[in-house]
């Protein structure tokens, strides 16, 4: 298949953009990565995702697919000759989808809150993040059944959903001077994180922590230096 049949519109710091890239790597699908500039949105992006105007967007044979986890499921359904990303059992699939939704809607929301919060609020967000990790540690035990990943022997949907946040998690640990993944409290996840980051499908698209940390400082400075909102 020609390389330009599959394009991903994205940005290197985005955990959401990592997701379809990992999925395409798992399936050994060649694709063209079109990097969006930081402060402006390309015509192609605005045309392909008029509703949200956000990355990632997968463009397959000129058809756009939006929303990172929806793209991952699409990739799994189209490229069936590669390893499966979703489990085959409907109940296991439901569990992966449930926790993927939890990671996006509850856990990462708390992580984002932690990034911008001050004082007392910070402690509250930190507690929520840590509680969430405890739940995910438990989920890991149940889903992996002693194997390497949430998906079993290989990376699955939930590995992708949660693992894509690991670079930001490391940045958050550095910025806040806390350990979020901890050998004592979340031993399963600590080992899982190492395996995930080292996986061939992930390594090439996971941003380096230092680079992301710099970007995070740049973002924070930009937000502070932003002109006051007009009334």
Partner 1 sequence: MAEEILLFGAWGSPFSRRVEMALKLKGIEYKYIEEDITNKSPSLLKYNPVHKKIPVLVHNGKPVAESLVILEYIDETWKDSPILSKDPYERANARFWAKFIDEKCLSAIFKACWGEEKEHEKAVEEASELLQFLENELKEKRYFGGETVGLLDIAANIIGYWLGVFEEASGAELLTREKFPKLCNWANEFVSVSAIKENLPPRDKLIAYLRNRFGVGTTSK
Query: H or E stretch including 26?
Result: helix 15-26
Judged by CB, which is closer to partner 1: 5, or 173?
5
**195 lines the binding site for partner 1 (CB under 8 A):** no
Nearest to 55 by CA among 106, 104, 12: 12
Site string for partner 1, 107-146 (x = CB under 8 A): ----------------------------x-----------
**71 lines the binding site for partner 1 (CB under 8 A):** yes
Among 2, 51, 200, 226, interactor with partner 1 by CB under 8 A: 51
Alpha helices (runs of H) in 79-207, residue ranges in sequence order: 90-102, 108-116, 119-144, 157-163, 166-176, 187-198, 200-203
**90 lines the binding site for partner 1 (CB under 8 A):** yes
Concatenating the DSSP letter of every residue in 22-66 gives: HHHHHTT---EEEEPPSS---HHHHHH-TTT--S-EEEETTEEEE
Q: How many residues touch partner 1 (CB under 8 A)?
A: 21
Residues that bind partner 1 (CB under 8 A): 51, 60, 63, 65-67, 70-71, 73-74, 77-78, 90-91, 93-94, 97-98, 101-102, 135
């Amino acid at each position: 298949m020609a390389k330009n049949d599959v394009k991903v519109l994205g940005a290197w710091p985005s955990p959401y953009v990592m997701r379809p890239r990992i999925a395409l790597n798992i399936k050994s699908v060649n694709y063209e990565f079109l990097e969006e500039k930081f402060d402006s949105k390309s015509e192609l992006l605005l045309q392909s995702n008029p509703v949200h105007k956000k990355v990632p967007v997968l463009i397959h044979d000129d058809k756009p697919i939006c929303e990172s986890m929806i793209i991952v499921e699409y990739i799994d359904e189209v490229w069936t000759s590669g390893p499966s990303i979703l489990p085959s059992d409907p109940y296991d699939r439901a569990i992966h989808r449930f926790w993927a939704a939890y990671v996006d809607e509850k856990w990462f929301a708390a992580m984002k809150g932690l990034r911008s919060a001050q004082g007392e609020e910070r402690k509250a967000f930190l507690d929520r993040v840590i509680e969430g990790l405890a739940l995910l540690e438990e989920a890991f035990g149940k889903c992996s059944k002693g194997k390497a990943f949430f998906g079993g022997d290989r990376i699955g949907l939930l590995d992708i959903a949660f693992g894509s946040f690991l670079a930001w998690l490391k940045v958050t640990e550095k910025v806040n001077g806390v350990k979020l993944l901890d050998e004592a409290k979340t031993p399963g996840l600590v080992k899982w994180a190492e395996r995930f980051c080292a996986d061939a499908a992930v390594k090439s698209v996971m941003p380096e922590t230092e680079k992301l940390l710099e970007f995070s400082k740049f973002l924070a400075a930009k937000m502070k230096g932003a002109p006051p909102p007009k009334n």
